[in-house]
Amino acid sequence: HPSIVLVLLQHSANPDLQSIYGDTALMSAAQEGQEACVQALLRAKANADLQSNSGQTALMYAADEGHKACVKALLQAKANLDLQSNNGGTGLMRAASGGHEACVKALLRAKANAELIDKDGDTALQWAEDNGHTAIAKLIRQHTAPPQPAAAVPPQATQAEHAAQAARADAA
């Protein structure tokens, strides 16, 4: 509740105090979609990049639950978009997995790295595809660099033809 958070902060509560699991008030507020609490904690200089024991951040929690307003507040506070949890997950991966298109769009606009991989070697695109979120997969594809074609190497026959042409030109 925002009023309780405000009273605690007015009485010098530490906004970065972590539970035995490493969670902070900001993480809990973000996970529950409590935008007013998120805003109050950020104004009190809560560290948006603290990670829980499992490596989760407030941004990951908000993205996982699809709380667009909390994601946007954390982005405005310059939360690190590309921090990875202990399993390598990111906020973008969590939003993609959950089918939270508005959060995915906000993260991509903020330049979240869509090419990071988790511990299984999967990207946000694979998280979206594995969960059947084709529209989100399409969005992510639009923000990833296209694969670079391999350098063209002329076939051996073509190189031999060029050598023969050069020899004929020299003879003429």
Q: At 31, list the tokens.
A: 């996970």
Neighbours of 67 (CB within 10 A): 25
**Distance (Å, whole) CA 57 – CA 73:** 14
Per-residue pLDDT of the chain (172 residues; tens, 9 = 90+): 565 555 455 646 666 667 789 898 899 999 999 899 899 899 888 899 999 999 999 999 999 999 999 999 999 999 999 999 999 999 999 999 999 999 999 999 999 999 999 999 999 999 999 999 999 999 999 887 665 554 444 445 445 555 555 555 555 5
pLDDT of residue 157: 46
Query: pTM for this one?
Result: 0.79
For residue 139, give the DSSP letter.
Answer: H
Would you state the pLDDT for residue 165? 56
SS3 helix, strand, coil % of the chain, rounded to 5? 55, 0, 45
What gap in Å lies between CA 62 and CA 167, rounded to an integer?
69
Place of tokens 């990951």: 60
Please give the radius of gyration of the chain, using alpha carbons only, rounded to the nearest integer.
24
